[in-house]
Amino acid sequence: MDRKIILPEDQMPRQWYNIAADLPNGMQPPLHPGTMQPAGPEDLAPIFPMPLIEQEVSQERWIDIPEPVLDVYRIWRPTPLVRATNFEKFLDAPVKIYYKNEGVSPPGSHKPNTAVAQAYYNKEFGIKRLCTETGAGQWGSALAFACSFFGIECKVYMVRISFEQKPYRRLMMMVWGANCVASPTDTTESGRSILALNPDSPGSLGIAISEAVEAAVASEDVPTRYCLGSVLNHVLLHQTIVGQEAKKQLEMVGDYPDVVIGCAGGGSNFAGLAFPFAQDKIAGKEIQIIGAEPTSCPTMTRGPFAYDFGDTVQKTPLLPMYTLGHDFVPPPIHAGGLRYHGMAPLVSQLVRDGIIEPRSYNNLETFEAGVNWAKTEGHISAPETNHALSAVVEVARQAKEEGKEKTILVNWSGHGIIDLTAYDAYLSGKLSNYALPEEEIERALKAIEGLPKPQ
């Protein structure tokens, strides 16, 4: 068979899949931060345009992709599905490994799948400026790219430690016309409150979200809204084009996975690949779905399922999710963008329902997997993606021990060409493992003790 499976452009999916229509036990609603009652569309209107709010609360199984969005998608979609034959030989296990190469997009990751959609809907709604946060920079560069196509201003609050570690991501955003600043800043109340407590704060996604939401809501001179690159239902919805394409490509070669794997920080790339296959599992198909997260930010594997704020300064609705507490600040280690304190509510619910299995991996084993992948498959993976590759290695090892053949599908969610400082730290022996201490989890979780409890 051909190593690379190319889906014809005219076969690209024209609808997104909404797994909310198929959840076995439904999902609990977000809560208004003031009243602690279920949040309605009107509560989200100052933050998001109405078309995205409608998608956020939709129970429709299929949602049409607008033609202008498809036009931009066609720059890089459909993305290749590739058989990782060299990595298979290296692992010497009874496995077939396919990877969906989302690194071929202009920003180099899966993130434009939702960035383009969000920019389009905001443009149609009359919005002139978008504010957002970014961790490792994949999301910020993707939104900058998307805004350049639709003529929208873009302001990005980048987690300070990543801003310092990854200057080329910031430069990518600037090339596409965005204004990127290190968060926390002294230009928002949220940022000033954090700096007052810790002038040397490395930042976090929760802090950057607080700043971006505040800047969007407070803007009076230009119609402005906020964009989120992960976690929310409409974001995960837009990413499902990945898994739908993968299904079609596997059908072209008469195959189907036993195991589906993606790295998981907020949940977007993982959900994009996994949800179309989770639909099959909900319907009775036997398939294992693994979300791989870092031991330094073990949201699903060590956090409780609880109502929590999506940001540090408590400006967002409360979301039902696995969380480490909204004031959690991860250690400044190279775990790429997988540093968010919470997990997407849809992913969290599917973990509760036993549809998804979370696993965590440490720094050194993820980079070992990434380096071995580069030496065999050629591509240098983003540090986030290396977590998924660690899961592939673990599943292959188990298959070898059990003597069982397995077909593995993994989301190669982005390249690491702009993350080489992280590889330098690993190759020079400066990188170390970090497992989050139990007392740090207990401290972070005190922040949610007084919040409503999910059922």
The per-residue DSSP string of 31-98 comes to B-TTT-SBPPHHHHTTTS-HHHHHHHH---SEEEPPHHHHHHHTTTPSPPEEE-HHHHHHHTSSEEEE
Task: Show Cβ contacts of residue 399 under 8 Å, excluding neighbours closer than 6 positions.
Answer: 93, 94, 95, 405, 406
Cβ pair 336, 110 in contact under 8 A:
no
Structure tokens at 12: 């690209």
Considering the domain boundaries, does residue 262 fall inside one?
Answer: yes
* Residue-level pLDDT at 455: 83
Considering the domain boundaries, does residue 27 fall inside one?
Answer: no
- Kindly state the greatest CA–CA separation across the chain: 65
The CATH number of whichever domain residue 391 belongs to comes to 3.40.50.1100
Considering the domain boundaries, does residue 379 fall inside one?
Answer: yes
Considering the domain boundaries, does residue 228 fall inside one?
Answer: no
Considering the domain boundaries, does residue 126 fall inside one?
Answer: no
Q: What is the tally of structural domains in the chain?
A: 1
Q: At what angle do helices 50-57 and 112-124 cross, to 10 degrees?
A: 130
How far apart are the C-alpha atoms of 140 and 155, rounded to whole Å? 9
List the 357-361 sheet strands across, edge first: 4-5, 81-83, 95-101, 406-412, 259-263, 288-294, 357-361
pLDDT in tens, 342-392: 999 999 999 999 999 999 999 999 999 999 999 999 999 999 999 999 999
pLDDT in tens, 22-66: 999 999 999 998 899 999 888 889 899 999 999 999 999 999 999
Query: The pTM is what?
Result: 0.94
Q: What is the 3-state secondary structure (H, E, C) of 207-219?
A: HHHHHHHHHHHHC
Taking Cα atoms as reference points, which of 117, 350, 341 lies closest to residue 239?
117
* Residue-level pLDDT at 336: 57
Strand partners, 291: 262, 358
Which ranges of the chain have pLDDT less than 50? Answer: none
State the Cα angle at 335 between 331 and 339, rounded to 5°: 60
Considering the domain boundaries, does residue 48 fall inside one?
Answer: no
* Residue-level pLDDT at 1: 65
Considering the domain boundaries, does residue 77 fall inside one?
Answer: yes
Task: Show Cβ contacts of residue 46 under 8 Å, excluding neighbours closer than 6 positions.
Answer: 217
Considering the domain boundaries, does residue 101 fall inside one?
Answer: yes
How far apart are the C-alpha atoms of 167 and 147, rounded to whole Å? 20
Range of 245's domain? 4-8+66-108+233-446
* Residue-level pLDDT at 235: 98
Distances in Å between the alpha carbon of 161 and those of 72, 137, 437?
32, 11, 21
